[in-house]
Amino acid sequence: MESVVLVRYGEIGLKGKNRPAFENRLVQNLRRALGPEIEASVRREHGRIVVDFGGREAPRQAIDRLRSVFGVVSISPAKAAPLSLDEALAGARLLVEEKLQATKGPVRFKVEAKRSNKQFPLTSPELNGRFGGYLLRAFPRLEVDVHAPDFVLHVEVREKAIYLYTEILPGPGGLPVGSSSEGLLLLSGGIDSPVAGWLAMKRGIRLRAIHFHSFPFTSDRSKEKVIDLAGVLSRYSFEPIPVYVVNFTPAQTAIRQHVPPAMTITVMRRMMLRIASRIAAQHGIPALITGESVGQVASQTLESMAAINEVTSMPILRPLVAMDKGEIVELAQQIGTYDLSVLPYPDCCTLFVPDRPETRPRIERVRAAEADMPIDELVDEAVATVDVVEPVLEPSLSL
């Protein structure tokens, strides 16, 4: 009896001609999720993916990893029996035995058989009857309850095997990372941008990150925190997300020298976007991603966004644009970035926030405010001195 994990996907099935590319990407990502030390074959099978562990039991950690891959709607750890009723019954017996181990007293169940292989001689209702009867005889504690069962034994008769399972574990949905090109995430040490990155990944975007660091105004700890955040996000793509660390001190210093305080945030954001756009273009990355959300702070009014946006023609994705802070915090907690984000190392922006930032900056005034700054030189210098840091991926599965 083989041990397998059945992987179901949804949306990528809708993608018409792109379908094989999407499926191949998902297969590749599932393989990567398992890591090199797990022996398993990953194959496509009629609108699903089967991860086959051979005769070995699928390790719990492997199951957890498979179900966290974007594009996965649900998974079921299953036994795969050959196309023989007797062997399938024996498999079901093993499975139910495991299921009952954790319980005492009567347990209600039902069988749900599905026969897509019409060559197989028994129909679905007949299979329900045979499996139900067999299990009732094998385990006196079992009772049939089709309305409120404690568990359902699924029996799927397919082309080459009969799959048996009792669990359907939800996955994150979305699209497989890498199926929607690449995006450059402006990653601060705050709560929002990591969540924005996660949501972009969920839509299939492969991430690289850029971080603006103002040493010695901000500490090395604040930089490390951002690398660690990239590390947490890397858990969802199972490959390290590189972080382009930009020395932002010369730009910050020039801004402080030349720009009136009410306008510094806007100009700072414009500098960030100029540098980020240049680095993205250098690497053939077509879009930027930020953690902005409308109305959250002074620089996130629509007028501010317009003034900031003016410096680039690259699309800027803002996955959090319509979310409330509470919703963002909740998601940050779920995906595991929150605890890092709230560590108290100041970021370059928190440090330079003026008392009264302009909430409706007029574009002409912003242009005038930065007119004395050597913008091209500052961008060139920042791009030339960028440092690429890769987070260390979690240690691979220890088996």
Chain residues in the site for ligand ATP (CB under 6 A): 186-188, 190-193, 210-212, 290-292, 296-297, 299-300, 347-349
Min CB(211)–Mg ion separation in Å: 11
Least CB distance from residue 351 to ligand ATP, whole Å?
10
**Interface positions, 271-330, toward Mg ion (CB under 5 A):** none
Q: Under a CB-based contact definition with an 8 Å cutoff, are residues 184 and 209 in contact?
A: yes
Q: Which does 52 bind (CB under 5 to 8 A by kind): Mg ion, ligand ATP, none?
A: none
Q: How far is the CB of 149 from Mg ion (least distance, A)?
A: 49
- Beta carbon nearer to ligand ATP, 95 or 308: 308
With binding defined as CB under 5 A, does residue 194 bind Mg ion? no
Question: What DSSP character marks residue 393?
Answer: P
Query: Other CB atoms closer than 10 Å to residue 2's CB: what's the count?
Result: 17
Q: Give me the least distance between CB of 292 and ligand ATP, in Å please.
A: 5
* Binding partner of residue 296 among ligand ATP, Mg ion, none, CB cut-off 5 to 8 Å per kind: ligand ATP
The CA distances from residue 186 to 91, 125, 242, 357, 388, in Å, are 51, 56, 12, 21, 14
Pair 236, 68: CB distance under 8 Å: yes
Q: How far is the CB of 249 from ligand ATP (least distance, A)?
A: 12
Which one, 169 or 297, has the nearer CB to ligand ATP? 297
Residue reference for tokens 């990407």? 25
Tokens of 159: 């082309």
CB 316 within 8 A of CB 309: yes
Taking CA atoms, 363 is separated from 168, 262, 318, 373, in Å, by: 54, 14, 21, 16
Which window, 172-180, 182-190, 224-232, 389-397, contacts Mg ion (CB under 5 A)?
Answer: 182-190
**Binder of residue 186, out of ligand ATP, Mg ion, none (CB less than 5 to 8 A by kind):** ligand ATP
Quick one: which of 190, 194, 242, 391 contacts Mg ion (CB under 5 A)?
190
57/324 with CB nearer ligand ATP: 324
Closest CA to 211 of 195, 224, 199, 198: 224
Contact 353, 262 (CB under 8 A): no
Binding site partner of 3, from Mg ion, ligand ATP, none, Cβ cut-off 5-8 A by kind: none
Alpha-carbon distance of 373 to 357, in angstroms, equals 19
- Give the nearest distance from C-beta 325 to ligand ATP in angstroms: 8
The SS3 of residue 71 is coil
The CA-atom distances, in angstroms, between 187 and each of 21, 125, 198, 199, 351 are 29, 55, 11, 13, 16
Question: Which of 188, 222, 234, 264 lies at the binding interface for Mg ion (CB under 5 A)?
Answer: 188
Contact assessment for residue 327 and residue 195, using Cβ atoms and an 8 Å cutoff: no
Give the residue carrying structure tokens 């891959």. 69
Closer by beta carbon to ligand ATP, 65 or else 211 = 211
Closer residue to ligand ATP in complex, CB, 71/291: 291
Closest residue (Cβ) to ligand ATP?
Answer: 190
Summarize as ranges the residues that interact with Mg ion (CB under 5 A): 188, 190
